[in-house]
Structure 1
Amino acid sequence: MNLPLFIGLRYTKAKRKNHFISFISLISMGGIALGVMTVIVVISVMNGFNKEFQQRMLSTVSHATISAFSGEHLTDWQQAIDIVRGQPDVIGAAPYIQTEGMLQGYRTEGALIQGILPDLEQQVTEFQDNLRYGAMEDLQAGEFNIILGIDLAAHLGVGPGDTVTLYVPEFRTTAVGITPRLKRFTVSGIFEVGMYEYDFKLALIHLEDARRLMRLPQAAAEGVRLKVDDLMRAPLIVRELAPELDGFYRIRDWTQEHVNFFKATRTERMVMFIILSMIVAVAAFNILSTLVMLVTEKQADVAILRTLGLSGSQIMGIFMVSGTLIGLIGTAIGTIAGLITAVNINSIIQTLEGWFNTEFLSKDVYYITEISADIRSGDVITIVGIAFGLSIIATLYPAWRASRVEPAEALRYE
């Protein structure tokens, strides 16, 4: 066996006279393991949050949106649909009208009202799959039916078959003064997306009913929503579609519509990664302290090895092997523990909630109420590489110091 490797392994495994050094070695190993585990779990949970948020959000909103440049309503939305339907990457297109309103049942609550065409809407969103009651086909023009989010319906105190009054910010002048426009709707369905933002704030009505309520021109729509075959390619597909629309329409993809949120999550993920990596750096400094004390304890041994002919680089190799082994074992333990924790994070959270009788992710505060982890091999490799690299760097100074030991000076009092 290579001599520095053999002696370095012996130093790591041997029982030392100074048990404090062995204790510090265990602390260093445990610190690296804890740091690696924490970073893997946190980054995987943040990846899972982003993935789950994208899936749930994009099941209710479009991958891309076509609207008029002037900001007014489209009166030729059918022409825009005909243009994009000829593109192989577009798998669905549907018009919509969107406005804010006030819904009144047993209680009153503000809501986002979307006018849709049920048949076409099923091509671009997944409301049909998320319906707890009713069907999209229940929205018929002129019948003034409405489909509510489950939390919105619960707050209003209404259920299927009940009626709600919708007030929209369109005012009319009457004999008694200016009054808001209102219409009574029948609750024909209830959906649950799994995101409080939509389950509590969104309501669906037929496009024609929305047009009548807002007194828009015949065949008018606010825009057209698109669904593409690969949402991650949506920005590229949008750029390819723009010339086909001849400049008469404005087209935006989902990354532009929600750009602030995704920029914030990317920044938060990067900052969290840097902060948590400091735990690994602190543990690496413990390795440095351990090796400095080990070099001090083994000065006589080092002096004898130098007199036997070992070079300075070989002496460095001995102590680098000892410190690297501590980092390697700690990194391996932390990686295994982190992967196991990340895979079972949802069960762990549920168990802790049961023990402490509390709810960590209240749905009226957080977008997502269930924690899931998305373990990415690239992230794990990066974390392991950083931890192992810091461990190796921490060995350089003590190993260099050991290589500078003068045999005569170290053996003077032996």
Structure 2
Amino acid sequence: MFKPISLYIGLRYTRARRSNHFISFIALVSMIGLTLGVAVLITVLSVMNGFDRELKNRVLGMIPQASVSSTEIITDWPDLAKKIAQHEHVKGVAPFTQLQGMLTAQGQVSGLMVNGIEPQYEKNVSIIQDHMVAGSIDNLKKGSFGIVLGKQMTDALGLGLNDSVTLVLPEATPSPAGVVPRFKRFKIVGIFSIGAEVDSMMGYIALNDAATLLRLPDGAQGIRIKLDNIFLAPQVAQDIVKQLPSGFYSSDWTYTHGNLFSAIQMEKSMVSLLLFLIVLVAAFNIVSSLVMVVTDKKADIAILRTLGASPATITRIFMVQGTIIGVIGTFSGAVLGVILASSISTVIDWLNTRLGWHLFDAYFINYLPSYLRWQDVAVIVVVSLVLSFLATIYPALRAAKIQPAEALRYE
């Protein structure tokens, strides 16, 4: 069977046991370094992609992507919602009224952002209905004073479905005993679990109940908007406000969570750069390994030259050898990285449960997400292979310049 001489000898050099074990060790270290660098880079990028995806799907699925509010209560909000929905980038609209308060139950107190909503509209702009673990937002009816809370909140207060909880509003009410805050008793009619910080800071009541608590006419403070592209939120919100009468103003997710998204993007870029340096160091190890191989194989190179091998053939022999180290290291790292990226969320969750760790309580989600993008894997593999190939050029050219007479003089 025909084999190109450079490929055949390059493969023989790779498979053969060298008399100099130190050179073999350096080659092995180069391969392992490349494997670990590629694997860690794939895993870390998958985790950063996971945080990015969870921010978009979970957190931005609960808070308004964009909103249009008024300085006065909007009594004709259905007409306004219908007008906003005609915008080409708007996928859904829903009325809302917001108020802040504190929940008290069984001696426990916790702050809460309360959203007054219309359930049939809210389903078009929020993912809450898809993450209900008990009850439903459809149970929020006018005058019933029901409330939907996050699981983290109910667990902290020791409450469950159909239990009662007291909402304390910051507005003070004059009384014969002096100025006291306002209280209202609510019944828990639904519990949701997003797995993010909103579980412990957001609650939902009926839109008209919110107006009653604030002593306002039936209506809404604003219209929440869901978009087909969240990055167009500032522009779309401003465009909508320009088409409305004075008194309306816009807001979007970049005001509340824009810094978090920018931080994730910056960390992803910086971590990627640092980990690519690990791959680069591993590729430079290939250079040192091949330089020592060339030094060790001077006699073999001289014999091949005397037998008629051209400098180009010698160059290709050592490029083959270095490229094989790069290929094995890269693809081993890619396989290991894909396995780690696919299983790291499960492993970390298991460790948190078994060891009682709370590694992610300080983040906007309480678990480690991972999202493997095959585009990232392909880019990492290609860059690693290119670096490995470039690392073979200098040692191979150095091998081609060896003069047979000089190499064999002391043999």
TM-score using structure 2 length: 0.89
Residue 343 (structure 1) aligns with = 342
Residue by residue, what CA displacement relative to the aligned partner does 1:367-414 show, whole Å, maximum 9, x if unpaired? Answer: 334444322122111111221122122222222322232332222211
Residue 56 (structure 1) aligns with = 58
Counterpart of 2:382 (choices 377, 382, 385) is: 385
How many Å separate the matches in 2 of 1:398 and 1:305? 17
State how 1:35-54 maps to structure 2 within 5 Å. 35-54=37-56
Shift of 1:360: 4.8
What residue identity is the alignment partner of 1:349? I
State how 1:134-149 maps to structure 2 within 5 Å. 134-149=135-150
Question: Aligned with 1:268: secondary structure?
Answer: helix
Question: Aligned-residue CA RMSD in angstroms?
Answer: 2.7
Identity %, equivalent residues? 43
Shift of 1:105: 0.8
What residue identity is the alignment partner of 1:135? S
Residue 167 (structure 1) aligns with = 168
Contact 2:173 2:181 in 1 (8 A): yes
What residue identity is the alignment partner of 1:15? R
What residue identity is the alignment partner of 2:42? I
Shift of 1:161: 3.3
Question: Aligned with 1:143: secondary structure?
Answer: coil
Question: Aligned with 1:222: secondary structure?
Answer: strand
How many Å separate the matches in 2 of 1:397 and 1:53? 46
Moved more, 231-240 or 394-403: 231-240
Shift of the 194–336 alpha-carbon distance from structure 1 to 2, 3 Å rule, reads same
Moved more, 388-397 or 29-38: 388-397
What residue identity is the alignment partner of 1:397? Y
How many Å separate the matches in 2 of 1:353 and 1:13? 44
How many Å separate the matches in 2 of 1:72 and 1:287? 70
Residue 101 (structure 2) aligns with = 101
Shift of the 226–109 alpha-carbon distance from structure 1 to 2, 3 Å rule, reads same
State how 1:73-222 maps to structure 2 within 5 Å. 74=74, 76-87=76-87, 89-106=89-106, 107-195=108-196, 197-216=197-216, 218-222=217-221
Moved more, 253-262 or 71-80: 71-80
Residue 67 (structure 1) aligns with = 69
Q: Would you say how many aligned residue pairs link Structure 1 and Structure 2? A: 408
Residue 286 (structure 1) aligns with = 285
Question: Aligned with 2:124: secondary structure?
Answer: helix
Contact 1:37 1:337 in 2 (8 A): yes
How many Å separate the matches in 2 of 1:199 and 1:124? 17
Moved more, 158-167 or 362-371: 362-371
Residue 27 (structure 1) aligns with = 29
Contact 2:74 2:220 in 1 (8 A): yes
How many Å separate the matches in 2 of 1:348 and 1:152? 26
Contact 2:68 2:237 in 1 (8 A): no
Residue by residue, what CA displacement relative to the aligned partner does 1:14-49 show, whole Å, maximum 9, x if unpaired? Answer: 222112212221221111111111111121122123
Residue by residue, what CA displacement relative to the aligned partner does 1:311-363 show, whole Å, maximum 9, x if unpaired? Answer: 43433222121111100111111111211222233343355557xx3145556
Shift of 1:247: 7.1
TM-score using structure 1 length: 0.88
Moved more, 21-30 or 78-87: 78-87
Residue 226 (structure 1) aligns with = 225
Shift of 1:109: 0.9
Contact 2:58 2:127 in 1 (8 A): no
Question: Aligned with 2:123: secondary structure?
Answer: helix
Q: Which runs of 5+ in 2 are unaligned?
A: none
How many Å separate the matches in 2 of 1:407 and 1:302? 7
Shift of 1:187: 2.4
State how 1:321-400 maps to structure 2 within 5 Å. 321-350=320-349, 352=351, 357-362=354-359, 364-400=361-397
Counterpart of 2:401 (choices 399, 404, 411) is: 404
How many Å separate the matches in 2 of 1:122 and 1:245? 25
Contact 1:80 1:245 in 2 (8 A): no
Question: Aligned with 1:374: secondary structure?
Answer: coil
Contact 2:234 2:252 in 1 (8 A): yes
Shift of the 350–133 alpha-carbon distance from structure 1 to 2, 3 Å rule, reads closer
Contact 2:92 2:226 in 1 (8 A): yes
Shift of the 167–389 alpha-carbon distance from structure 1 to 2, 3 Å rule, reads same
Question: Aligned with 1:86: secondary structure?
Answer: coil
Contact 2:67 2:237 in 1 (8 A): no
Shift of the 352–171 alpha-carbon distance from structure 1 to 2, 3 Å rule, reads closer
Contact 1:83 1:244 in 2 (8 A): no
How many Å separate the matches in 2 of 1:109 and 1:224? 27
Counterpart of 1:8 (choices 10, 24, 30) is: 10
How many Å separate the matches in 1 of 2:291 and 2:360? 51
How many Å separate the matches in 2 of 1:409 and 1:233? 69
